[in-house]
Structure 1
């Protein structure tokens, strides 16, 4: 099966660029934006060799896994554009729900899997990292903002030797192809991108995201650089910052960092 857009994505004007092998779909999208590409366009590859996650961490995607990015050039501020990552998380969770349902219908012995969104940009299954999202933005011609949302999902294989537990859909008994997941993702992206509506709909995105969030109300620590904030995961605010309620009654807004839940919070590992 070849990579293709879902009908809703196609009707919304999205185009598609497919690669057999590429270093990074995010890098390719930014290069195109610098040379005049305005999108909206999806880029997807069968194999990614030089992908990256947050803080320039490596994200290699072997054949069978899904590595994709969507590029849109929009008129908004970087702060507002950053909230689009929450819409991306919702889109990926919805796509995963759709393909896992299809897999269970084909194989009734498969168990239902619950996916959770981990602030700021991961999708978990059973507490293990299944997917990551990386949003990058850059000002291009006419002072418009090129926004690239990279989405990588472990479909057939999860990386080993990482500082966190990881899992693939195949490990969970969900036997689907990257092409099926990509098509579902483009459909869900068109839906949640429309709800987001240049940031005007972030209130609804925030509500939906919190309904699916991992760790709300639980002990959490967030490490940002050399500083660590610990307390209870209270909520996310109107800007997408994580709000930590500390033991002294302070509510601290965290804009970026690595999140550790529960007992792992005290040792700095998920």
Structure 2
């Protein structure tokens, strides 16, 4: 029987990651300097270039950054970039220690992951965003995060926008309820962000599309007044159950009247 090296391998990987995680604090063997305003990070080309296609391209032979050993960043939040490097070296980051709020921080982490082509960071930040947004969708932070996502990122940034839209659609009934004030900040943001509302409308139209192609039927139990709408057509087989009288059967037991769009029992007269 072949020996089991799994535990030994896992311990080795753990020691490797722990060793790498000490590099940013010691700056030992650092050979690349990243600047943003008055902030500076001394990092290691072999690490950041493996994790980010942006830095790999910047450090290619012949580029100014490769010759001078300096990469300048612009228009980013220094605290977010700091957490980005934390992720590059440690494969995680702390989103509790932030003045931004956890929802907005993770929105910005998704944005920098897309901007600097850092594999997996967008997915990691998305999982964190989903977790926090599930409880924060009524807050001002959530509205501010959507505002920033739709005003500062490209339309092609689908990872971020689709994540936000999934949360919004799940709670759309409450978020767009004009008779309550809990989500007033969200509604104000939506009113001034047409690109966001355009995508919400597209999602809602897609969700309602099956109902527009549906027809009206009635329960085949003539003592039951229930009328229902369904996209099911005459040629399809399915099983169903009336929510009121509990009548149930296979569609093969009934005739689907195309003229009156009613479900009829065999031999029953059509209702005009």
| Smaller-chain TM-score bracket | under 0.3
Highest Rg: 1 or 2?
Answer: 2
TM-score (ref. length: structure 2)? 0.26
TM-score (ref. length: structure 1)? 0.26
Between Structure 1 and Structure 2, the one with more helix by share is 2
Between Structure 1 and Structure 2, the one with more strand by share is 1
